[in-house]
């Protein structure tokens, strides 16, 4: 038999040859093409969830940014003049709240941000901390004190806030103390608001993360802190961060 004959024999016999496979084969093919590899699916789901999460976090930070403290004594007077008219209606008689807030405070989180800074700045001063207080804070402190000293009526109201303002009497004593009281009072009050809002954003983020990340230490987790929504911890594998207060 020549090579050619052999080749032709095999070619011819196999040309239309068919063999029936087991019935289970199609099921396996079907499964693979319509439900891709679990790892792959989970991976792409993870990355799209992570991307959405970053957007949400970005938004949360964007809207929670502490606002630059603006108002100086000079400007403040004319504006506080307006506010003085408004506040007596809102506050309990005789009690005035000194709150370091810019006159134009449309959103509740702005006061939160400011009081954050106020409290922060105050603490740093009290502790004699050498840390550099952000310039905004220093400026703010300098503003507030002159305001206090000069005009007991210097009030900056929060006209847009619906809740009743727990007013605090301004002691004539220690300016620091007054500042502390004011700051804390304002803080607790607006914290309630900001906390409410924080529960919205941070809680939302926590919920989304919980769906995707089932680890003990999630990729990012928010908590309710004294100063509003804070990041409790971040876990990116290589980089891990945990808040002190956790």
Contacting residues toward another protein, per CB under 8 A: 1, 3, 5-7, 9-11, 13-23, 25-26, 28-30, 32-34
Nearest approach in angstroms of CB 31 to another protein is: 10
SS3 of residue 194 by DSSP? helix
Nearest approach in angstroms of CB 17 to another protein is: 4
Nearest approach in angstroms of CB 242 to another protein is: 44
Nearer to another protein, 1 or 239 (CB): 1
Nearer to another protein, 13 or 214 (CB): 13
Nearest approach in angstroms of CB 34 to another protein is: 7
Cα gap 204→200, rounded to integer Å: 6
Cβ pair 231, 246 in contact under 8 A = no
Nearer to another protein, 23 or 214 (CB): 23
Nearer to another protein, 25 or 169 (CB): 25
Cα gap 196→190, rounded to integer Å: 10
Cα gap 224→244, rounded to integer Å: 13
Nearest approach in angstroms of CB 28 to another protein is: 5
Nearer to another protein, 10 or 241 (CB): 10
Both tokens of residue 171? 């002691």
Strands 240-242 and 220-225: unpaired
Residues contacting 11, CB < 8 A, separation 6+:
none
Cα gap 91→94, rounded to integer Å: 8
Enter the DSSP assignment of 103: S
């Amino acid at each position: 038999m020549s090579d050619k004959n052999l080749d032709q024999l095999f070619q011819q016999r196999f040309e239309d040859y068919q063999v029936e496979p087991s019935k289970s084969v199609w099921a396996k093919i079907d499964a693979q093409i319509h439900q891709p590899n679990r790892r792959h699916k989970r991976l792409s789901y993870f990355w799209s969830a992570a991307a959405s999460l970053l957007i949400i976090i970005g938004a949360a930070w964007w809207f929670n940014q502490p606002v630059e403290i603006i108002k100086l004594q000079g400007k403040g007077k004319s504006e506080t003049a307006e506010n003085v008219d408004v506040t007596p209606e809102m506050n309990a008689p005789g009690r005035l709240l000194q709150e370091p807030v810019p006159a134009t405070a449309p959103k509740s989180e702005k006061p939160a941000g400011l009081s954050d800074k106020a409290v922060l700045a105050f603490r740093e001063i009290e502790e004699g901390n050498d840390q550099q207080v952000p310039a905004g804070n220093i400026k703010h402190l300098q503003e507030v004190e002159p305001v206090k000293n000069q005009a007991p009526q210097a009030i900056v109201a929060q006209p847009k806030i619906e809740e009743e303002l727990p007013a605090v009497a301004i002691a004539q004593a220690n300016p620091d103390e007054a500042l502390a009281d004011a700051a804390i009072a304002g803080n607790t009050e607006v914290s309630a608001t900001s906390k409410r809002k924080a529960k919205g954003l941070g809680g939302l983020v926590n919920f989304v993360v919980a769906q995707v990340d089932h680890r003990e230490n999630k990729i990012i987790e928010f908590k309710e802190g004294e100063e509003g929504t804070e990041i409790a911890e971040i876990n990116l594998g290589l980089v891990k961060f945990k808040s002190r207060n956790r």
